[in-house]
Amino acid sequence: MARPFSERFDPWLLAEREAVVEGRVALSKLPRLAPLLSETLGEASYQFRFGRDDQGRHIIRSLVRAELRLTCQRCLESLSYPVHAAGSLALVQGPMEAEQLPGELDPLLVGAQELLRIQDLVEDELLLSIPVSPRHAAGVCSHQAEESVPELEKGNEAALNDNPFAVLAGLKKGSTHS
């Protein structure tokens, strides 16, 4: 089913019709995701299968794929982060209904007359896939972790071994107060 990407739709009706919505979207068109990327080049592909499960719940099976450009938190260089996010959402109208869902279904709170946008579903899946602290794989990052601890100043080494606050006390004695 081809739909304009930003068009609003009734997820309850699509689930009743067992509709499939699929397509592609430029990453630059996702306003909540774009600021988290080092580059907004590329696109995401998506497929949403609406339907009902064996218990009669309205569900959405999602698949979103993209190659995101993130900033490595070690070296601050750009890194490629592949996303292959598959999930199952259950349409719910309240928190009580959400609490009763089995573990394999995530709740999507949607009022009876509320309309959704495919853009929001795609963006949510991508946002949930981004790691808190993206980093290159070990050995790939241009930043090499320091393996040695900087040498202590010779005059302070003994003081630090005895009392780590001795250096601070020495600094305090040497300062002048007005």
How many residues appear in the chain? 178
> How sure is the predictor about 146, in pLDDT bands with cuts at 50, 70 and 90?
very low
DSSP structure class, residue 34 = G
Q: Does residue 171 sit within a domain?
A: no
Q: Does residue 151 sit within a domain?
A: no
Count structural domains, the chain: 1
Residue 154: CB atoms within 10 A of its CB come to 7
* Segments forming the whole domain that contains residue 40: 8-129
The more confident residue out of 166 and 62 is 62
Q: What is the dihedral of CA 150, 156, 161, 167, to 10 degrees?
A: -110
pLDDT surpassing 70 at residue 37: yes
> How sure is the predictor about 158, in pLDDT bands with cuts at 50, 70 and 90?
low
Look-up of token digits 């959400």 = 98
> Please, are residues 51 and 18 in contact by the beta-carbon 8 Å criterion?
yes
Q: Does residue 38 sit within a domain?
A: yes
Q: Does residue 51 sit within a domain?
A: yes
The average pLDDT across 18-29 equals: 94
Q: Does residue 45 sit within a domain?
A: yes
Q: Does residue 137 sit within a domain?
A: no
- pLDDT reported for residue 22: 93
Query: Alpha carbon 68 to chain centroid distance?
Result: 11
Look-up of token digits 């995530």 = 106
Per-residue pLDDT of 80-134, as tens digits, reads: 999 999 999 999 998 998 999 999 999 999 987 789 999 999 999 999 999 998 9
Distance CA 129, CA 83 (A): 7
Look-up of token digits 């602290």 = 133
> How sure is the predictor about 149, in pLDDT bands with cuts at 50, 70 and 90?
very low
Q: Does residue 172 sit within a domain?
A: no
- pLDDT reported for residue 4: 52
Sign of the CA dihedral running 83, 42, 48, 33 = positive
The more confident residue out of 56 and 142 is 56
pLDDT surpassing 90 at residue 140: no
Token reading at 99: 């609490």
Query: For residue 56, which phi and psi values (nearest 5 degrees)?
Result: 85, 5
